[in-house]
Chain A
Amino acid sequence: MKPDSRQLGRFAEIATKVRAGVPLELDEGAFLYRYPDLLALGQLANEVREDRHGDRTYFNINFHINPTNVCVADCKFCSFARLEEGMPAAYTMSLDEIRQKLLDREGQPVTEIHIVSGLHGELPFDYYLDTLRVLKEVRPDIHLKAYTAVEIQYFADKYGMSYERVLTELRDAGLDSMPGGGAEIFAERVRRKICRDKATADQWLDIHRTAHGLGLRTNCTMLFGTIETLEERVDHMLRLRALQEETGGFQTFIPLAFHPDGNSLGKLPAPTGVDSLRTYAVGRLMCSNIDHIKAYWIMIGLATAQVAQSFGVDDLDGTVQEEKIYHMAGAETPQAMTRGDLVRLIREAGRVAVERDTLYNVRWIDDGAPLPGIRVDASVPYSSHEGRVRLAVTP
Chain B
Amino acid sequence: MSEADSRDVHDVVHVAAVQFLNAHPLTRYLPGPETTSGPRFEVHPALPAECAEGLANGRFDVALVPVAAYLDNPQWEVVPEVGIACRGPVDTVLLLSNVPVEQIERVHLDAASRTSVLLLRTLLADRGLHPEFVGAPHGTGRGLVRGNDAALVIGDAAFGLRDAFPVVMDLGAEWFSRTGLPMVFAFWAARPGVLTDAHVRALHEARDRGIKRAESLARAYRESRLAAGEPALAESDYANYLRQRIRYRLDGFDRAGLVEFLARVRPDDGAHPAHVNFIAREHEGVAEAAVQLRATPMDADALLAKAADGGRLTLAEGMFLYETADLFALGAAADARRQALHPDGIVTYIIDRNVNYTNVCTARCRFCNFYTPPKGPNPYVLTREQLAAKFSETVALGGVQILLQGGLNPDLGIEWYEDFFRWAKRDFPTLQMHALSPTEIIHIAHLEGMTIHDTLVRLHAAGLDSLPGGGAEMLHDEIRNRISPFKNTTDEWLEVMRQAHRIGMLSTATMVFGFQETAEHTLVHLDRLRRVQDEALANPAGGKFTAFIAWPFQADGTNLKLRDDTSPWRYLRTQALARLYLDNIDNLQVSWPTLGPEIGEVALRFGANDFGSVMIEENVVSKAGAHFMLDAARIEHHVQQAGFTPARRRQNYTRLQSRA
A and B together in one complex: yes
B335 on the A face (CB < 8 A): yes
Contacts of B131 in A (CB 8 A): none
Measured CB to CB, the nearest residue on chain B to A40 is B332
User: B328, A310: Cβ atoms under 8 Å?
Assistant: yes
The interface bits of chain B over 63-74 (1 if a CB of A lies within 8 angstroms of the residue's CB, else 0) are 000000000000
The 0/1 profile, CB within 8 Å of B marked 1, for residues 297-321 of chain A is 0001111101100100000000000
Find B597's partner among A38, A273, A276 (CB 8 Å cutoff). Answer: A273
Taking CB atoms, residues of chain B closer than 8 Å to A306 are 567-569
Q: Is B40 an interface residue (CB 8 A)?
A: no
Chain A CB within 8 A of B601 CB: yes
Number of interface residues of A (CB under 8 A): 30
* B638 and A272 within 8 A (CB): yes
Q: Is A273 touching B600 in the complex (CB atoms < 8 A)? A: yes
Contact A300 B598, CB 8 Å, known A39-B331, A272-B638: yes
Question: Does chain A have a CB within 8 A of B303?
Answer: no
CB distance from B261 to the nearest CB of A (A): 37
Does residue B643 face the partner (Cβ distance < 8 Å to A)? yes
Chain A residues 1-39 with CB under 8 Å of chain B are 1-2, 36, 38-39
Give the CA-CA distance A293 to B572 in the complex, in Å: 22
At the interface, yes or no: A283 with Cβ under 8 Å from chain B?
no
What number of B residues sit within 8 Å (CB to CB) of A? Answer: 29
B637 adjacent to A277 (CB under 8 Å): no
CB pair B637 A269 closer than 8 Å = yes
B602 close to chain A: CB less than 8 A: yes
Q: Is the CB of B601 within 8 A of A46?
A: no
- Chain A residues 236 to 293 lying within 8 A of chain B, measured CB to CB, are 269, 271-277
B637 neighbours in A (Cβ, 8 Å): 269, 272
Chain B residues 257 to 288 lying within 8 A of chain A, measured CB to CB, are none
- B residues 580-599 touching A (CB-CB < 8 Å): 595-599
Q: Taking the complex as formed, is B379 at the interface, i.e. its CB lies under 8 A from any CB of chain A?
A: no
Most buried by B among A273, A300, A307, A310: A273
Distance in angstroms between the alpha carbons of A306 and B568 in the assembled complex: 7
- Given the interface pairs A43-B328, A269-B637, A306-B569, the reply to whether A38 lies near B643 with Cβ below 8 Å is yes
- Shortest beta-carbon distance from A339 to chain B in Å: 15
Least distance between A282 CB and chain B CB atoms (Å): 15
Contact A274 B602 (CB under 8 A): yes
Q: Are A303 and B638 in contact (CB under 8 A)?
A: no
Closest residue of chain A to B346 (Cβ to Cβ) is A1
Closest residue of chain B to A36 (Cβ to Cβ) is: B643
Q: What distance in Å separates the Cβ of B611 from its nearest Cβ neighbour in chain A?
A: 12
Known: A39-B328, A310-B327. A304 touches B569 (CB 8 A): no
Q: List residues 347-381 of chain A with CB under 8 A from any CB of chain B.
A: 348-350
The distance from the CB of B431 to the nearest CB of chain A, in whole angstroms, is 31
**Which of A43, A307, A310 touches B599 (beta carbons < 8 Å)?**
A307
**Quick one: given A43-B328, A348-B567, A349-B569, are A277 and B602 in contact (CB under 8 Å)?**
yes
Specify the chain B residue showing the minimal Cβ separation from A38: B605
A118: interface (CB < 8 Å): no
Question: Is A134 part of the contact surface with B, judged by Cβ < 8 Å?
Answer: no
Q: Kindly identify which residue among B335, B339, B345, B569 contacts A39, using a CB–CB cutoff of 8 Å.
A: B335
Residues of B within 8 A of A302 (CB): 568
Q: Is the CB of A303 within 8 A of B595?
A: yes
Interface contact A274-B599, CB-CB below 8 Å: no
**B339 partner residues in chain A, CB cutoff 8 A:** 1-2
Report Cα–Cα, A302/B643, bound state, in Å: 23
Residues of B within 8 A of A304 (CB): 568, 596, 598-599, 602
Contact A272 B597 (CB under 8 A): yes
Whether B570 pairs with A1 at a CB distance below 8 angstroms is no
Q: Is A42 an interface residue (CB 8 A)?
A: yes
Confirm or deny: A345 has a beta carbon within 8 angstroms of a beta carbon on chain B.
Answer: yes
Give the docked Cα–Cα distance between A352 and B567 (Å).
16
> Chain A: which residue is nearest B570 at the CB level?
A348
A275 lies within 8 A of B641 (CB): yes
A1 touches B598 (CB 8 A): no
In the assembled complex, the Cα of A349 lies from the Cα of B332 at a distance in Å of 17
Write the A32-66 contact mask toward B (1 if CB under 8 angstroms, else 0).
Answer: 00001011101100100000000000000000000
Known contacts A39-B605, A46-B328, A274 near B570 by CB under 8 Å: no
Tell me, yes or no, whether B644 is within 8 Å of chain A by CB.
yes
Closest to B338 in A: A1
**Cα–Cα distance between A300 and B335 once the two chains are bound (Å):** 24
Residue B565 lies at the interface, judged by CB distance under 8 Å to chain A: yes
Residue in B closest to A273 when the chains form the complex, CB atoms: B598
- Contacting residue for A307 out of B335, B572, B641, CB 8 A: B572
Q: Mark B319-345, 1 if CB is under 8 A from A, else 0.
A: 000000001100110010001000001
**B596 contact set on A, CB distance < 8 A:** 273, 301, 303-304
A342-B430 Cα distance, complex, nearest whole Å: 47
Establish whether residues B599 and A303, one from each chain, have CB atoms under 8 Å apart when the complex forms. yes
Are A1 and B643 interface neighbours, CB within 8 A? yes
Check B601 against A273 for contact (C-beta < 8 Å).
Answer: yes
How far is it, in angstroms, between the C-alpha of A274 and the C-alpha of B642 when the chains are bound? 6
Cβ A301 vs Cβ B598 within 8 A? yes
In chain B between 634 and 660, which residues have their CB closer than 8 angstroms to a CB of chain A? 634, 637-638, 641-644
Q: How far is the CB of A154 from chain B (nearest CB, A)?
A: 34
CA distance A46 to B597 in the complex (A): 23
What residue of chain A has the Cβ atom nearest to residue B644's Cβ? A1
Instruction: Please give, as numbers and ranges, the residues of chain A lying within 8 Å of B644 by CB-CB distance.
Output: 1
Residues of B within 8 A of A271 (CB): 598
Q: Among the listed A46, A300, A307, which residue makes an inter-chain contact with B569, where contact means beta carbons less than 8 Å apart?
A: A307
> Would A348 and B602 count as touching, CB distance under 8 A?
no
Contact B601–A42 (Cβ < 8 Å): no
Interface members, chain B 533-589 (any A CB < 8 Å)? 565, 567-570, 572
Q: A1-B643, A1-B644 are in contact. Are A303 and B601 (CB under 8 A)?
A: no
B-facing mask of A163-200, CB < 8 A → 1, else 0? 00000000000000000000000000000000000000
Cβ proximity bits A206-241 to B, threshold 8 Å, 1 near / 0 not: 000000000000000000000000000000000000
Distance between Cα atoms of A276 and B596 in the complex (Å): 14
Q: Which residues of A contact B597 (CB under 8 A)?
A: 272-273
With a CB–CB cut-off of 8 A, which chain B residues contact A276?
598
Q: Which of A1, A275, A300, A301 is the most central at the interface, judged by chain B CB atoms within 10 Å of its CB?
A: A1
Q: Give Cα distance in the complex from A227 to B634, angstroms.
A: 18
B598: which A residues are within 8 A, CB to CB? 271-274, 276, 300-301, 303-304
Chain B residues with Cβ under 8 A from A42's Cβ? Answer: 328
A40 cross-chain contacts in B, Cβ below 8 A:
332
Question: In whole angstroms, how far apart are the Cα atoms of A273 and B327 in the complex?
Answer: 17
Partner of A348, one of B569, B642, B643: B569
Q: How far is the CB of A274 from chain B (nearest CB, A)?
A: 5
Contact of B601 among A1, A2, A272, A345 (CB under 8 A): A272
A1 touches B602 (CB 8 A): no
B379 to chain A, nearest CB (A): 31
Would you list which residues of chain B between 86 and 141 have a CB under 8 Å from chain A?
Answer: none
Which residue of B327, B331, B568 contacts A303 across the interface (Cβ within 8 Å)? B568
User: Which residues of chain B come closer than 8 Å to A1, judged between CB atoms?
Assistant: 339, 345, 643-644
Residues in B neighbouring A344, C-beta threshold 8 A: 567
Q: In angstroms, how far is the closest chain A Cβ from the Cβ of B588?
A: 16
- CA of A1 to CA of B602 in the docked complex: distance in angstroms? 15
Nearest CB of A to B335, in Å: 7
12 additional A-B residue pairs with CB within 8 Å, beyond A269-B637, A273-B596, A348-B565:
A38-B643, A269-B634, A272-B641, A274-B602, A300-B598, A301-B596, A303-B595, A304-B599, A304-B602, A307-B568, A344-B567, A345-B567
Q: List 30 A-B contacts (CB under 8 A).
A: A2-B339, A38-B602, A38-B605, A38-B643, A39-B328, A39-B605, A46-B328, A269-B637, A272-B597, A272-B601, A273-B597, A273-B599, A273-B638, A274-B602, A274-B605, A274-B641, A275-B641, A301-B596, A303-B567, A303-B596, A303-B598, A304-B568, A306-B567, A306-B568, A306-B569, A307-B568, A307-B599, A344-B567, A348-B567, A349-B567
Which 8 A-B pairs have CB atoms at the shortest separation, nearest pair first?
Answer: A273-B598, A303-B568, A1-B345, A348-B567, A273-B601, A272-B641, A273-B602, A349-B569
- Which residues from chain A sit less than 8 Å from chain B, CB to CB? 1-2, 36, 38-40, 42-43, 46, 269, 271-277, 300-304, 306-307, 310, 344-345, 348-350
